[in-house]
């Protein structure tokens, strides 16, 4: 352990977070589409926008079982489940939860049952805005998804809200978060990429400054309920990490078995060697979880940004405050995904936000971040 790291870990709170993460062990993760079908069509959903369903139809059960075996053999221990809509395939969710820790993203319309899924599963329930906005953008103006999802996941200990924030609807963040918190759940943010170029309120080119400020306000109001930290939010919204600018060349989670990424693997920037993003046929992989060949400047995927920060630990060793930013990012990732004890870990959330505030007061931000 370096002298600096030792010095930072003399702080008992940081040492506790660090030890918990280390005890949980190394994560060997993949993402997979559980199926290629969805019961709604969200406006500009990256999955259908990038035609990820085409030519990659849902594998049959024998292929599914063989896939689980293959990934066990490969040493996979964590699976991010997307699609398509995973709640339409509860039996498959059970099979995954029997063998791996997993995080699933669901639109929330159909409840993921508890039976056989009490353990090993963290459920991110998607929402894009208040009931009216959500109905318009995700429910085709007809389906009341947010109220239904609130009912389905009321006080469900597995669930958190996976809130895709949209620049022109930043003003709704506080009321939506209040409803999620009243519902007994935590909240994580993801940022909308306007792949279909709808423009106006949905245009990510407007920037996420108002979204970022609203997130900071809800952190202040519900410090024990918000999984998103001010640091992660700043990295996603500015696209800056020290000397790096967000994009394909620095993104750390892409399919390492896919020849399309060969040059990226040789460019010297860190990446997750184990990672693969499997299509719904469970045989082919695509470039990365959220893209086939899209321009990464429209990608604000929070998981990929978590990974970007986590794999760039060394950049964060310049001061205790910077190390705090790195370690709390790492810890939140483990906590949200139940890789550390959730009950114990969730008691640290408010202190994590407080420490980050303290760090921000004490660290001069790199020029690039200030400009962003
Ligand atoms: C493609 S969905 C698949 C899982 C599931 N059907 C759901 O709705 O959560 C995965 C996540 O990506 C989010 N998402 C879809 N399109 C997006 C976009 N253009 N920008 C940002 N997030 C997006 C969804 O809201 C959801 O949280």
**pLDDT tens track for 157-195:** 999 999 999 999 999 999 999 999 999 999 999 999 999
Within-domain flag for 325: no
Distance 35 CA to ligand 1 centre (A): 14
User: Average pLDDT of 45-55?
Assistant: 92
Is ligand 1 within 6 A of the CB of residue 44? yes
pLDDT: is 297 or 368 the higher one? 297
- DSSP character at residue 108: S
Number of domains in the chain: 1
The domain spanning residue 91 has which CATH number?
3.80.30.10
pLDDT in tens, 306-330: 999 999 999 999 999 999 999 999 9
Question: For 141-148, which contacts have Cβ atoms below 8 Å and span 24 or more sequence positions?
Answer: 143/40, 143/109, 145/40, 145/107, 145/108, 145/109, 146/108, 146/176, 146/179, 148/108, 148/109
C-alpha 263 to ligand 1 mean position (Å): 28
Q: 91 is in which domain, residue-wise?
A: 30-315
Is 370 inside a domain boundary? no
Whether 189 is in the pocket of ligand 1, judged by its Cβ within 6 Å, is: no
Any ligand 1 atom below 6 A from CB of 303: no
Percent of the chain with pLDDT over 70: 98
Ligand 1 pocket check: which of 52, 82, 205, 302 to mutate, most ligand atoms within 8 Å of Cβ?
82
Give the pLDDT confidence score for residue 362 in this predicted structure.
81
State if residue 193 touches ligand 1 by the CB under 6 angstroms criterion.
yes
Name the residue of 164, 204, 298 to mutate for ligand 1: max ligand atoms within 8 A of Cβ.
164
pLDDT at 372 over 70: no
Confidence of residue 13 (pLDDT cuts 50, 70, 90): very high
Mean pLDDT of the chain: 96
**Nearest-CA residue for atom 5 of ligand 1:** 106
Q: Verify whether ligand 1 is closer than 6 Å to residue 162 (CB atom).
A: yes
CA 15 – ligand 1 centroid, Å: 35
Nearest-CA residue for atom 16 of ligand 1? 45
- DSSP notation for 124-161: EEEE-SSHHHHHHHHSTTT--HHHHHHHHTTT-TTEEE
**What is the signed CA dihedral for 307, 308, 314, 318, rounded to 10 degrees?**
-110
- Ligand 1 atom, smallest distance to 46 CA: 16
Average pLDDT over residues 53-77: 95
Asked if residue 266 is part of any domain, the answer here is: yes
Q: Separation of 51 CA from ligand 1 center, angstroms?
A: 14
Give me the pLDDT at residue 365, please: 55
pLDDT of residue 370: 46
* Average pLDDT value for residue range 214-231: 98
Residue 104 CA, closest ligand 1 atom number: 4
- Say what the pLDDT of residue 294 is: 87
Model confidence pLDDT, tens digit, residues 249-294: 999 999 999 999 999 999 999 999 999 999 999 999 999 999 998 8
297 within a domain of the structure (yes/no): yes
In order of 186, 316, 354, the CA distances from 324 in angstroms are: 22, 8, 11
Residue 238 φ/ψ, nearest 5 degrees: -95, -20
For the whole model, what pTM was predicted? Answer: 0.96
Residue 291 in contact with ligand 1 by CB distance below 6 A:
no
Looking from the CA of residue 127, the nearest atom of ligand 1 is: 25
Output the residue whose Cα is nearest ligand 1's atom 27.
126
* Residue labelled with tokens 């702080």: 11
Task: Assess if residue 212 is contained within a domain.
Answer: yes
Whether residue 164 lies inside any domain: the answer is yes
pLDDT digits (tens, 9 = 90+) for 134-160: 999 999 999 999 999 999 999 999 999
Instruction: Tell me if 160 CB under 6 Å of ligand 1.
Output: no
DSSP 3-state assignment of 313? Answer: helix
pLDDT value of position 368: 46
Q: How confident is the model at residue 55 (pLDDT cuts 50, 70, 90)?
A: confident
H/E element, 105: strand 101-106
State pLDDT tens for residues 229-249: 999 999 999 999 999 999 999
Residue 189 falls within a domain, yes or no? yes
Is 22 part of any domain? no
């Amino acid at each position: 352990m370096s002298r600096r790291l030792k010095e930072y870990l003399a702080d008992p709170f940081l040492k506790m977070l660090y030890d918990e993460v280390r005890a949980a062990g190394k994560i060997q993760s993949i993402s997979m589409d559980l199926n290629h079908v969805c019961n709604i069509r969200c406006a500009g959903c990256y999955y259908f926008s990038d035609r990820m369903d085409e030519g990659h139809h849902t594998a049959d059960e024998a292929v599914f079982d063989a896939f689980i075996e293959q990934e066990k053999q490969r040493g996979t221990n964590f699976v991010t489940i997307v699609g398509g809509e995973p709640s339409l395939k509860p039996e498959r969710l059970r099979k995954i939860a029997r063998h791996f820790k997993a995080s699933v993203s669901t639109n929330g319309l159909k409840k993921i049952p508890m039976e056989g899924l009490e353990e090993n599963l963290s459920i991110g329930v998607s929402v894009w805005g208040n009931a009216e906005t959500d109905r318009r953008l995700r429910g085709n103006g007809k389906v009341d998804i947010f109220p239904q999802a609130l009912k389905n996941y009321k006080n469900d200990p597995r669930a958190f809200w996976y809130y895709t924030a949209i620049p022109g609807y930043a003003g709704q963040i506080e009321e939506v978060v209040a409803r999620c918190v009243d519902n007994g759940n935590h909240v994580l943010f993801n940022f909308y990429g306007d792949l279909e170029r709808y423009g106006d309120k949905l245009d990510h080119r407007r920037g996420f400054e108002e979204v970022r400020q609203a997130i900071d306000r809800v952190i202040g109001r519900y410090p024990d309920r918000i999984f998103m930290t001010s640091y992660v939010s700043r990295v996603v919204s500015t696209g800056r990490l020290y000397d790096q600018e967000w994009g394909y060349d620095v993104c750390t989670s892409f399919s390492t078995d896919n020849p399309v990424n060969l040059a990226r693997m040789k460019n010297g920037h860190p990446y997750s060697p184990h990672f693969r993003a499997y299509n719904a046929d469970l045989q082919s992989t695509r470039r990365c979880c959220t893209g086939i060949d899209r321009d990464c400047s429209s990608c604000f995927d929070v998981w990929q940004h978590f990974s970007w920060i986590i794999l760039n630990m060394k950049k964060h060793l310049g001061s205790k405050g910077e190390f705090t930013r790195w370690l709390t990012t790492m810890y939140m990732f483990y906590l949200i995904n139940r890789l550390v004890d959730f009950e114990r870990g969730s008691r640290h959330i408010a202190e994590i936000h407080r420490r980050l505030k303290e760090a921000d007061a004490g660290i001069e931000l790199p020029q690039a971040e200030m400009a962003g």
